[in-house]
Chains A and B, each alone.
Chain A
Amino acid sequence: MSKVVEISPTTRHEGHSKLVLKVNDEGIVERGDWLSITPVRGVEKLAVGKSMHQVPKIASRVCGICPIAHTLAATEAMEASVGCYVPEDAMLLRYILQCANRLHSHALHNILSLPDMYLPGTDTKINPFTPEEPVRSVALRIQRLREIAQTVGEIVGGEAIHPSNPRVGGMYKNITPRAQQKIYDLAKEGRILAHEQSEFMIAVFKNFQNRDWAEVAGRQVPIPDDLGYHNQGYMAAAPIYGSSSLDDNPTWFPERWTEVRPWDWYMGEEEITLEDKDYPVGGTTPAGEKAWPQMQACTGVPLYDGQPVEVGPRARMVQFKNYDLKGAMGLQIARQMEYEACAYGMIEAVDALNTSGKVVADEIPQGDGTLGWAANEAPRGCDVHLAKVKDGKVGWFSMLVPTTWNFPTCSRALTGAPWELAEVIVRAYDPCVSCATHMLVVDENKKIVAQKLLE
């Protein structure tokens, strides 16, 4: 007899979401729904009619962990729509910004993931706040990595959180030779720390995968070998940066994308029948309450070739490096494997940069309403923005954000896991629920689906 347990809210990821889990008598998930319950802010709708210069700055505010992704994807979607090719040195600055942001984001996610994990070979869980070694050194290394990354982001992007330097047509400013040298020095320091951090984290995640149990709520919960496996596909546009409709050979295909409503995809109304007051910290939703994922999910469900897909570090590794580790830990390990490429990416790009080169296109067309899109490989995966710009104004704007793609995929990946480990699977996706929840879902009659809640 299935029971329903709900974890609300989930923790140690960005934003506000919950897990509604149908479990069997052993507490193993038969069908799980992971859904956003972050209020919809409606960036895509309010973008309509605004200038193509303003919209990327608004889109940036969707998320403060990966604002670079939204700034660059939105800016480049505008450029793709109006047909503006930006100078090479502007692209190099954007590339450095991209690498810096990924470095900081992955390091931040380490802090969020570590408390689920064990010091290899021990039954001691890792508390990143402890002053004790060896964890203290790891925490300090993470801090320094993030400091390096945010500083580099600040120099090339103008600001680490909500970069001010990118603009339609390129960048506002090139950097000085002194700034170039500073980036080089920071990246060289970061390269070594990134290598150490990556090796440490991979050892930790491998150790978790090899364990028989993890302690949750004072119980030993068995860790299945196939924790977090799913059979959905992968989608990635590039190993590091991205692609746009201006490319000769674009690597993302708008015609393969469709979208359905949460109504068509999530579970209907369920009553909570299983409750665990010990679930850390504060217990699960009390029995007797109702959950209705179809109505409560605040995102659309984007599909690629008619299926939910996984995006993110593993998708990039699968697509471009023949990576084959599955499951939650496979995804975590793929993320750590991107560490060093971020540092080397910065070094190579800053080497190639001409600090006296021009960074704004000579001519910035105002657009005739043509559809343009740009995909940015955000830390969490492929972030596609689509835009139609006419006379400098945005006529239509859409954002397909990594965590939106991952919501349904991750929900499928919950099947077969003990419900107590569902959050471990969710965290492997490094979810960014604010990012995912920026849209209003419109059904075929142009009625806003969220309004169903009000009826």
Chain B
Amino acid sequence: MVLGNYKSVVAARSADNEILKGAQDGGIVTQLFAYALEEGIIDGAIVAGPSEEPWKPEPVIATTKAELLAARGTKYTLSPNISLLKEATRSYGLDKIGIVGTPCQMQAVRKAQLYPVGMRDVPDKIALAVGIFCMENFPYQSLEAIVEDHCNVKLESVKKLDIGKGKFWAYTERGAVTQIPLKVTHKYEQPGCHVCLDYVSNLADISTGSVGAPDGWSTVFVRTKNGEDTWGKAIAAGCFETKPIEEVKPGLDLVKKLATDKITKNQKTLEARATFGVGKGLRNPYI
């Protein structure tokens, strides 16, 4: 259950070279939204687009492929995508919203659908929720400290950031690669991430991430009826290359291991909150 409910899981990558060029992994999110936009499954998608500052994302509503391409790549800092959820149905006039986000953001979407507090007209307008795997996130100042101080690289010169194989990696435009052990990044993590019990976006229609699949490929969980419909059509349209997850390395076992680690560790943090003080504790949002 650490991987949530799903109908199928595969390794996949986009069949579109233009998308793959700037994608973090297999270009799944960008390709899915590009296909869904073209087919009218969605009429806009809330994505983490670029902002004035390097590697600081800004939520945007993409209604063209160009805007989707501009949002490729992981930014390891907070992007409040849900802040546009209601506005998408208002001044943007959307009827079918696509949204990408981390596990917590998928939870927010589902909660808004079931308990729409101040979220009039949102519940029935979510057309495709794509979740990404997420171990933890960093405030922007943390990212600056990690990249500029620990990696000793200017953020402006960075081409790609990645967390993998126990390390934080920074690749520059001019070809330099820096890596630091994840251990030194721990103190920079956003504290709110330490009570999160979801690794692979259990509540999304489709969730995707790098762990489990080879470089350039993604692991994809197809979870809901809606996700299955869209994924099936996209496959039929030739949008993706896929491989059975059993045939790729390191495969689902690693995903399961990391998910278990995250949940076990954070569950402990949650339990510790109950007895944080002397004779009193801190709030637990799950009870």
Chain A interface (Cβ < 8 Å from any Cβ of B): 151, 154-156, 158-161, 165, 173-176, 178-183
Q: How far is the CA of A155 from the CA of B43 in the complex (A)?
A: 16
Q: Which of B43, B120, B121 is close to A178, meaning CB atoms less than 8 Å apart?
A: B43
Residues of B within 8 A of A179 (CB): 90-93
Q: Which of A159, A165, A182 is close to B120, meaning CB atoms less than 8 Å apart?
A: A159
Residues of B within 8 A of A180 (CB): 93
Q: How far is the CA of A10 from the CA of B98 in the complex (A)?
A: 48
Q: Are A178 and B89 in contact (CB under 8 A)?
A: no
Q: Are A178 and B93 in contact (CB under 8 A)?
A: yes
B94 at the binding interface (Cβ < 8 Å) = yes
Q: Are A178 and B94 in contact (CB under 8 A)?
A: yes
Q: A159-B120, A173-B91, A178-B92 are in contact. List 10 more A-B contacts (CB 8 A).
A: A158-B90, A158-B91, A165-B91, A175-B93, A176-B63, A176-B91, A178-B93, A179-B92, A179-B93, A180-B93
Residues of A within 8 A of B91 (CB): 155-156, 158, 165, 173-176, 179
Q: How far is the CB of B34 from chain A (nearest CB, A)?
A: 18
Q: How far is the CA of A179 from the CA of B87 in the complex (A)?
A: 11
Q: Are A176 and B93 in contact (CB under 8 A)?
A: yes
Residues of A within 8 A of B90 (CB): 154-155, 158-159, 165, 173, 179
Residues of B within 8 A of A156 (CB): 91
Q: Are B93 and A160 in contact (CB under 8 A)?
A: no
Q: How far is the CA of A154 from the CA of B63 in the complex (A)?
A: 20
Which of B86-116 touch A at CB < 8 Å? 87, 89-95
Residues of A within 8 A of B43 (CB): 178
Residues of A within 8 A of B121 (CB): 151, 154
Residues of A within 8 A of B92 (CB): 175-176, 178-179
Q: How far is the CA of A158 from the CA of B89 in the complex (A)?
A: 9
Q: Which residue among B43, B91, B92, B93 has the maximum number of chain A CB atoms within 10 Å of its CB?
A: B91
Q: How far is the CA of A161 from the CA of B121 in the complex (A)?
A: 12
Q: Are A154 and B89 in contact (CB under 8 A)?
A: yes
Scoring B residues 65 to 97 as 1 if CB is less than 8 Å from chain A, else 0, what string do you get? 000000000000000000000010111111100
| CB pairs A–B below 8 angstroms (29 shown) | A151-B121, A154-B89, A154-B90, A154-B121, A155-B90, A155-B91, A156-B91, A158-B87, A158-B90, A158-B91, A159-B90, A159-B120, A160-B120, A161-B120, A165-B90, A173-B87, A173-B90, A173-B91, A174-B91, A175-B91, A176-B91, A176-B92, A178-B43, A178-B44, A179-B91, A179-B92, A180-B93, A182-B93, A182-B95
Q: How far is the CA of A337 from the CA of B260 in the complex (A)?
A: 67
Q: Are A181 and B93 in contact (CB under 8 A)?
A: yes
Q: Which residue of B lies closest to A182 (CB)?
A: B93
Classify the secondary structure of B's interface with A: loop
Q: How far is the CA of A178 from the CA of B62 in the complex (A)?
A: 13
Q: How far is the CA of A160 from the CA of B91 in the complex (A)?
A: 12
Residues of B within 8 A of A182 (CB): 93, 95
Q: How far is the CA of A178 from the CA of B91 in the complex (A)?
A: 9
Residues of A within 8 A of B89 (CB): 154
Residues of A within 8 A of B87 (CB): 158, 173
Q: How far is the CA of A159 from the CA of B91 in the complex (A)?
A: 10
Q: How far is the CA of A160 from the CA of B63 in the complex (A)?
A: 25
Q: How far is the CA of A197 from the CA of B29 in the complex (A)?
A: 47
Q: How far is the CB of B67 from chain A (nearest CB, A)?
A: 12
Q: Which of A155, A158, A161 is close to B93, meaning CB atoms less than 8 Å apart?
A: A155
Residues of B within 8 A of A159 (CB): 90, 120
Q: How far is the CA of A165 from the CA of B91 in the complex (A)?
A: 9
Residues of B within 8 A of A178 (CB): 43-44, 63, 92-94
Q: Which residue among A158, A178, A181 has the maximum number of chain B CB atoms within 10 Å of its CB?
A: A178
Q: How far is the CA of A180 from the CA of B94 in the complex (A)?
A: 11
Which of B13-63 touch A at CB < 8 Å? 43-44, 63
Residues of B within 8 A of A161 (CB): 120
Q: How far is the CA of A183 from the CA of B93 in the complex (A)?
A: 9
Which of B147-174 touch A at CB < 8 Å? none
Q: How far is the CB of B162 from chain A (nearest CB, A)?
A: 34
Q: Which residue of B lies closest to A183 (CB)?
A: B93
Residues of B within 8 A of A151 (CB): 121
Q: How far is the CB of B59 from chain A (nearest CB, A)?
A: 14
Residues of A within 8 A of B94 (CB): 178
Q: How far is the CA of A300 from the CA of B63 in the complex (A)?
A: 52
Q: How far is the CA of A155 from the CA of B121 in the complex (A)?
A: 11
Which of B112-132 touch A at CB < 8 Å? 120-121
Q: Which residue of B lies closest to A163 (CB)?
A: B90
Q: Which residue among B44, B89, B93, B120 has the maximum number of chain A CB atoms within 10 Å of its CB?
A: B93
Q: Which residue of A lies closest to B63 (CB)?
A: A178
Q: How far is the CB of B97 from chain A (nearest CB, A)?
A: 12
Residues of B within 8 A of A158 (CB): 87, 90-91
Q: How far is the CA of A15 from the CA of B44 in the complex (A)?
A: 41
Residues of B within 8 A of A155 (CB): 90-91, 93
Q: How far is the CA of A180 from the CA of B91 in the complex (A)?
A: 9
Q: How far is the CA of A408 from the CA of B90 in the complex (A)?
A: 40
Q: Which residue of B lies closest to A173 (CB)?
A: B91
Q: How far is the CA of A155 from the CA of B91 in the complex (A)?
A: 5
Q: Which residue of A lies closest to B121 (CB)?
A: A154
Q: How far is the CA of A280 from the CA of B121 in the complex (A)?
A: 37
Q: How far is the CB of B30 from chain A (nearest CB, A)?
A: 21
Q: How far is the CA of A154 from the CA of B86 in the complex (A)?
A: 10
Q: How far is the CB of B228 from chain A (nearest CB, A)?
A: 28
Q: How far is the CA of A326 from the CA of B44 in the complex (A)?
A: 52
Q: Which residue of A lies closest to B92 (CB)?
A: A176
Q: How far is the CA of A97 from the CA of B82 in the complex (A)?
A: 25
Q: How far is the CB of A378 from chain B (nearest CB, A)?
A: 22
Q: Which residue of B lies closest to A164 (CB)?
A: B90
Q: How far is the CA of A155 from the CA of B86 in the complex (A)?
A: 11
Q: Which residue of B lies closest to A171 (CB)?
A: B91
Q: How far is the CA of A15 from the CA of B95 in the complex (A)?
A: 34
Q: How far is the CA of A173 from the CA of B93 in the complex (A)?
A: 12
Q: How far is the CA of A179 from the CA of B94 in the complex (A)?
A: 7
Q: How far is the CA of A159 from the CA of B118 in the complex (A)?
A: 10
Residues of B within 8 A of A154 (CB): 89-90, 120-121
Residues of B within 8 A of A165 (CB): 90-91
Q: Which residue of B lies closest to A355 (CB)?
A: B91
